[in-house]
Amino acid sequence: LHRRRHSFPTRRSSDLINTNKRAPEFISLFIDENLKKGLKGKSEAEVDEVLRKTICVFRFLHEKDTFERYYKQHLAKRLLQGRSVSDDAERGMMAKLKVESGHGYVVKLQGMLNDMKTSEELMEELGRVVKRSDRGMPMGLGVSVLTSTNWPISAQAPSCVMPEEMMETRRRFEEFYASRHNGRVLTWHANLGSADVKVAFRARSHEINVSTFALVVLLLFGDVEEGVALSYGDISKRTMISDSDLERT
């Protein structure tokens, strides 16, 4: 018997992949799952091999700009939520995309990674300054300073009035930042943050991770007397968080 090998022509493969309008989103989601921290059952080398094969599918995509939009959103969530498996893995994936689509395609993605690296160094420096200072911070703080042109984030920050202890912490960071970067303006995006909180109830305490919006709401109850309630209207008026965000919170 003579066995013949058949291979699909490039056009056939391209037609197959692009039949589904959501192919750019699905490919980005698949990469997102493989670059998230806590992935079980795969070594870093195995993940890299999966991503290398994914690039073969990406190569046939017509809507590469649509893919880039989804990829940027997924990358932002991984980085800001601390879910990325590693900086090396992220840069390795970007190197593969760069080979396929050129430097201009990944320049903003690389800028996002650079922002996170710079922010880490900034927080280390802040820690040394606070340690040498007579004043401690009112609460623990971790800030990611993001270049607005790199990130898929609205320039207009959502409304949020923070309690005084949070505002004092913000002011301390702003003073520190202004001393090193004269003329730069910081806009605080509370909708993108999270907080680790120790909450004391009657019977026991719990350590929980919540959104920054949820922290703002929880801190309102610190001054509420026993048996007194806060209505939704009270919370809305005091925090100025939009209804869509506050209802979810």
106/99 Cα distance (integer angstroms):
10
What pLDDT is recorded for position 12?
72
Give alpha helix (H) positions in the chain. Answer: 10-18, 23-34, 44-58, 64-80, 87-101, 103-132, 164-178, 212-220, 232-239, 243-248
Give whole-number Cα distances, 153 to 166, 222, 246, in Å: 22, 32, 19
What pLDDT is recorded for position 226?
83
136/150 Cα distance (integer angstroms):
33
Give whole-number Cα distances, 109 to 30, 63, 112, 116, in Å: 17, 18, 5, 11
Specify whether the CB–CB gap between 179 and 172 falls below 8 A. no
Spell out the per-residue pLDDT of the chain, length 249, in tens.
445 554 444 567 678 888 999 999 999 999 999 998 766 677 778 888 889 999 999 999 999 999 999 999 999 999 998 899 888 889 999 999 999 999 999 999 999 999 999 999 999 999 999 999 888 888 999 999 999 999 999 888 999 999 999 999 999 999 999 999 988 889 999 999 999 999 888 789 999 999 999 999 999 988 888 889 999 999 999 999 999 999 999
Residue reference for tokens 């996002």: 112
Token pair for 152: 């898929």
What pLDDT is recorded for position 9?
47
Element (H, E) at 199: strand 194-200
What pLDDT is recorded for position 10?
55
Question: Nearest to residue 209, comparing CAs of 220, 226, 193, 222?
Answer: 193
Give alpha helix (H) positions in 196-231. Answer: 212-220
What pLDDT is recorded for position 223?
83
Q: CA Rg, the chain, in Å?
A: 23
What pLDDT is recorded for position 6?
46
Specify whether the CB–CB gap between 112 and 76 falls below 8 A. yes
122/176 Cα distance (integer angstroms):
10
What pLDDT is recorded for position 39?
67
